[in-house]
Structures are given as structure tokens and as C-alpha cells.
Amino acid sequence: MKQSILFMVINMNVGGTERSLLNRIAEMPENQYDITILMLEKRGGFLASIPAHVKVTSIDEYPTIKEMLNSPLRKMLRNNFQKDKRINDWRPFFRQLGARFMRNRGYFLNYVLKNTPNLPTAYDVAVAYAGPMDLISYFVCHKINAKKKVQWIHFDVTKIDFDVSFAAKIYRQFDQVYAVSQEGRDKLIDKLPKLKAKIDFCANLIEPERITEKAEEGKGFTDHFPGVRILTVGRLSKEKGQDLIIPVLAKLKESGFPVRWYCIGEGSAQQAYEQLIKKYQLESDFILLGAMSNPYPFMKQCDLYVQPSRHEGYCLTLAEARCFSNPIITTNFTGAHEQLSQHANSIIVDVDEQQIYAAVQRMIERNDLPSAAST
């Protein structure tokens, strides 16, 4: 008899959490598992990558509660005054204010989900996979019937807005809590020492053979650039650190290095990064390629891979870059040393522009790549 498992995520945008879920599902034999993916919103570039045997569903009520969840108290207060709302329309504001005063996030989430019914199907296992995400944790605990419930943590809880009070209450209701790196596990235990017995480590899965096969399917670089191609893959956001490498590229160009930097990914910081690229006059040399479900041809073909993240739980793109023989530079986020302990041609630096610049220069010279001397 198959075991029924539900994974709950925000959506299936092209990102590390979503890719790791697909990798995990690929390792689960179809004849042994009946798998469901529940999303807050049924959208994203990875939707087409979900295997046909996996059931896909979403929360119908989410569009009506999304603004309520994402609006800060100050914005809710301003909007209510501007729109002259009736007393009933003030309830979300007072609920959120009360939750903050009582330090009880669940008080607000219970109100938000009051018109959302419990799922009709019972499962053997329900997994709050997009963690830490308060709404998903609360939904799995209170709206899903499952014999076993699991919480997954994909981020460094010391670097994000992590509600320790809420987590201590809600994670107690899970049977198991997984961090995706050993270092991430230790940091989570430091935050929630009373839950140490529930907290364990389970690394994100990758499929090296599939990754190297996919690297042969796409064209990769088509600009015929003769110099050093540097690649970074990740969501365009501050935590991923692309703002650090734009001035690094400017300095490399000023020093005479024939380099071009390519970024795969999309995100909320794209417009700000485009302005930064323009400020440094790098329109022809810092290339935003957009989101790609198959970045592997670029990973294979690049001369150097750089991961400049300010923080990670377990950087899946770094793990994927390790499938190829190219040199790697990464910042010292959670799990970086775990990943690169066996990768000889790599450098780990602090989250610092000067250190990234020096590491790139050293890698160019160490690997006999085109350098300033050849221009």
C-alpha cells in the first residue's frame, strides 16, 4: 500500500526550495508513494517540471487573504483611514495588533484562516516544506489531518526575521523538524533548545547525473565572448548578494581583466540592480539572463562560478555548481564549508566586496584564465 505524503509550499517559482522539492520527489518511487503538492498559489516556472503522477492543488482562499498577511500594521492603519472603512473592516488590524501585543502570531493566523476549511483528505505525512514560513507551518498543524507532521527549515534562522516565540509553540506540534545543513541545525537548536530532540539535519538532494545530462540539452552562452565568463545563479534579492558583485566587476574591468559576469535568476531587486549596473556603466558586461529552469549549460561552460550570498540555509545552486569541474568562489554562509570540504579548487571569503575581488583575481591567475596581461 502506498504511503500518502503532502508537501506544502508557497508556489513553484524557479528557486532553490522548489528545485530541492522536485529533487526529493524524484528520489521517491512512484509505486511506494502517493504524493501531493499543496501551494498557496498555483504558479511558477517549475510547475511544468512536476512529475505527472504528483497531485497538485492550491488554497482557493489565498488571494483574498494575501494582502491581509503581507500588510504591515502601519500600512493597514493608513489604508483604513484613507478608505473610511467600517468598524468590521478594522478587524484584521486589531487582530494583528493584538497578536503583536500578546506575542502570539497564531492569534492572527487563526483569524486569517477562519474561512479556509480543513483539507478533506487525510495523509500519512504532511510536510511544511517552505520553512520557516509562519502561515504554512500553521496551516499544516491546524488544517491538515496527518499521522505525522514534519517541518523543513531552508534558511539560516539567525539571518532572517525568525519569530522564536511562534516557532517554539508551533514546532512543538510537529513530529520532526529538519534543517538542511549541520550548521543550520546547530543554529536552530540554539534558538529552540527545548526542541532539540525533534530537530535533525537532512541535506537537500541533488542528482549529479541528471544535472550533467541537462547541461548537454541547452545552448548555454551564445555571445562568443573570448574572455573570462563568471556566473552567479540565484534569486535577485539582497540576501543573494548580487549588489556586491556589480562593483567587483567594475573594479575588475578597471584593472584590465577581460571578464563578463552573467546572472541567472529574477526577483524583487532586479530594477535596483539594473540601476546599479547603469551607474557603473556595465550594461555590456553584467548580463541579467532571467530565470531558467535549466541553468546547467551555463554552469558547465562558465570559467568561474561565484556565489555571493549574505546568508543561506543550504545553497542548492552551489551544490549544483559542484557537479562540474569549474573553480568556485563563495561567501561564508551557513553550510559553505560543509559543501566545499572536498572541492579543492574553491575559495570561501567573507561577505565583502574587496575579498570577493581578490578571490576572483586569484582564481584567474591560479587557473591560467585570460588575465590583464593578455589584453
What's residue 90's pLDDT?
54
Ordered by start, the domain boundaries in the chain are 3-59+116-201, 64-111, 209-369
Where would I find the H helices in the chain? Answer: 16-26, 62-70, 73-82, 91-102, 105-112, 134-143, 164-170, 182-191, 208-214, 242-254, 270-279, 296-301, 316-321, 336-340, 353-366
Q: Residue with C-alpha cell 496551516? A: 139
**209-369 in CATH: which number?**
3.40.50.2000
| Separation CA 110–CA 112 (nearest Å) | 6
What's residue 287's pLDDT?
98
pLDDT single digits (tens) 267-293: 999 999 999 999 999 999 999 999 999
What's residue 221's pLDDT?
96
| Separation CA 271–CA 236 (nearest Å) | 9
Give pLDDT < 70 ranges for the chain: 70-104, 106, 370-375
Q: Which of 309, 279, 278, 285 is nearest to 228 (CA)?
A: 285
The three cell numbers locating residue 268: 524583487
User: Is the distance from CB of 321 to CB of 311 less than 8 angstroms?
Assistant: no
Instruction: Give the homologous superfamily in CATH for domain 3-59+116-201.
Output: Glycogen Phosphorylase B; (3.40.50.2000)
What's residue 115's pLDDT?
87
| Separation CA 323–CA 373 (nearest Å) | 31
- Two domains, one topology: 3-59+116-201 and 209-369: yes
What's residue 65's pLDDT?
84
What's residue 374's pLDDT?
42
Contacts (Cβ under 8 Å, ≥6 apart) of 341:
none
What's residue 375's pLDDT?
38
What's residue 98's pLDDT?
52
What's residue 62's pLDDT?
92
What's residue 76's pLDDT?
53
What's residue 67's pLDDT?
77
What's residue 92's pLDDT?
65
Q: Residue with C-alpha cell 504591515? A: 72
